[in-house]
Structure 1
Amino acid sequence: MRALRISLVLFIVLGGLFVLADRVAVGFAEDEAAGRIKSTEGLADTPDVSIGGFPFLTQVVAGELDDVKIGIKDYEAPTGGTGSAAGTIRIDDLDAEMHGVSFSGDYSSATAGSATGTASISYAELLKAANSEPKEIGFGFSARVTGLSDGGNGKIKVAVAVTPPGTKSSQTISVLSSVAVSGDTVKVHADSLPTLAVKLAEGRIRSITDFQQKIEQLPGGVKLDKVEAAPDGVEISVKGSDVRLVG
């Protein structure tokens, strides 16, 4: 009986030591991976990396991690163009969950079999893609987009300032718009056009109300999937396969 008790105590102690060693190892791996991702993606700040699954050490032996979560704040995504036309758009929060992550022994390379995640862009940031400078739309009328906000039911409310001919005072009208993803581009399209004092060509009005924002080179090569309006901005779903995390 005494031998059984001793064996039980030893089992508990060894088990505790294994768990401790496993947690120390996973903490080291998370820090190492975060540093590598920061360097690979050229990030200003170190991302949050969380490695799931237990025990971690058996996953290391197998050479593949079940689940890795990555969080990046204030990511500047390229918007296409070259030279003076090149620009970026700030993604406030980019969170991705990677599955089936294979890696090298020194963590110098890591690739996820699949990835899903979300990216959030504020309305103030998305507004930069809209026509915020006054533009002639016909018969002396000019218009520009002055603000974006949540329109409810998955719609974006687009505030448009319209200035009649011969005056400097403008009237602000609101347009409910749908938002969708097409390839690497987020597109905002007015569901219906505002009624003005005169009948203007639809194309001229849509040159103000409708706009789009290209988003390129997301970390690891993940792609835009879906987008919807949210209270503080747009929430974008991203996904990818054979996503390169490091190397």
Structure 2
Amino acid sequence: MSRKRAPRALLIAVVVLGVLLVVVDRVAAHVAEGVVADRLRASENLSSTPDVSIKGFPFLTQWARGEVDDVEIGIGGYEASTGGGERIRIEGLRARARGVRVAEDGGGATARSATGTATVPYDELLKATGSGPAKVLPGVTAEVVGLADGGHGKVKVSVAITTPVHSSTVSVLSTLTVEDNQVRVHADALPKLVADLVGSRIRDITDFRQTIDELPGGVRLDKVEAAGDGVEITVRGADIRLAG
């Protein structure tokens, strides 16, 4: 081999070796993603296998030191607890976990911290408003019959008011807040006539709260905002159990 060909051959060998190392690294990451996904499905009793994507390169050096820097997790549908024996459906949970450690035997995984977002459909949140019309005056009942996006982060709460001679539906804009893993809905203001007639009684109907507990890994509600398809929640947690 000539002296001119030697550097070129060495360069080709280095490039081939680099490609092989990248392939091996990505295959190892894919296997680890599958392990975490299967464990997460089993530990959270999910109906389908979640999406797990390990970020960062190289993966093998992260694995060797026992901690993966960044993992993205997607769960299509999840049933959380309402705290009263009922379940509430949340959809499109996307979470990002940092500092993920997988047990040496592959039996569990934990994260130093995690943040994520999901959506609570309006029909699910509507269940928290109670069952059936409630009496607000003799012969007068009121019932929340719909929730929708009111714009600017507000929820539009539609209330059906029924009297012996007339029925009508009024809508109020409500503010959403979070406290102790509860979504709280509070009407900003009531229509003047309604407020004058049944002020405090109608607020027992328009203002309500919904617990959303037992979220994956033990994350907790952090923020909440109304959106087109439902209420968007932000979750956050530290020392999160991802699987096992």
Smaller-chain TM-score range?
over 0.9
* CA deviation string 1:206-231 (max 9, x = no partner): 11101111011111110100101111
Shift of 1:197: 6.5
Tell me how far apart the structure 2 counterparts of residues 152 and 175 of structure 1 sit (CA, whole Å).
Answer: 12
Following superposition of structure 1 onto structure 2, how do residues 1-247 of structure 1 map, counting pairs within 5 Å? Answer: 1-81=4-84, 86-164=85-163, 166-167=164-165, 169-196=166-193, 199-247=196-244
Q: Alignment partner of 2:189: what SS?
A: coil
The secondary structure found in structure 1 opposite 2:135 is strand
Q: Report the secondary structure of 1:68's partner residue.
A: strand
Residue-by-residue CA offset, 1:4-24 (whole Å, 9 max, x unaligned): 111111111111111111111
Gap runs ≥5 in structure 2: none
CA distance 1:163–1:196, change in 2 (3 Å)? farther
Q: Distance in 2 between matches of 1:189 and 1:246?
A: 36
What is the distance in 1 between the residues matched to 2:88 and 2:142?
A: 24
The AA in structure 1 aligned to 2:69 is: D
User: 1:171 corresponds to which letter in structure 2?
Assistant: S
State the shift of 1:191 in Å. Answer: 0.4
Q: Structure 1 regions of 5+ residues with no counterpart?
A: none
How far did residue 246 of structure 1 move? 1.5
User: Structure 2 length as normaliser, TM-score?
Assistant: 0.95
RMSD between superposed Cα atoms in Å: 1.4
Farther-moved stretch of structure 1 (197-206 vs 148-157): 197-206
Distance 1:69 1:40 in 2: 17
Provide, for residues 76-97 of structure 1, a one-character-per-residue CA deviation record: whole Å limited to 9, x for no partner: 001112xxxx100000111110
Figure out how many residues of one structure are paired with residues of the other and give that number. Answer: 241
- CA deviation vs aligned residue, 1:64-84 (integer Å, no higher than 9, x gap): 001001111110001112xxx
1-structure distance, mates of 2:48, 2:80 = 15
Question: In the TM superposition, what is the alpha-carbon distance from 1:124 to its structure 2 partner?
Answer: 1.3
User: CA separation of 1:126/1:5 partners in 2, compared to 1, >3 Å: closer, same or farther?
Assistant: same
SS at match of 2:197: coil
Q: Distance in 1 between matches of 2:236 and 2:138?
A: 46
> Normalised by the size of structure 1, how large is the TM-score?
0.94
CA contact (8 A) 1:35 1:46 kept: yes
CA–CA distance in 2 between the matches of 1:12 and 1:134? 73
Segment drifting more, 24-33 vs 193-202:
193-202
Structure 2: how far apart are the matches of 1:198 and 1:122? 29
- Alpha-carbon distance in 1 for matches of 2:221, 2:125: 15
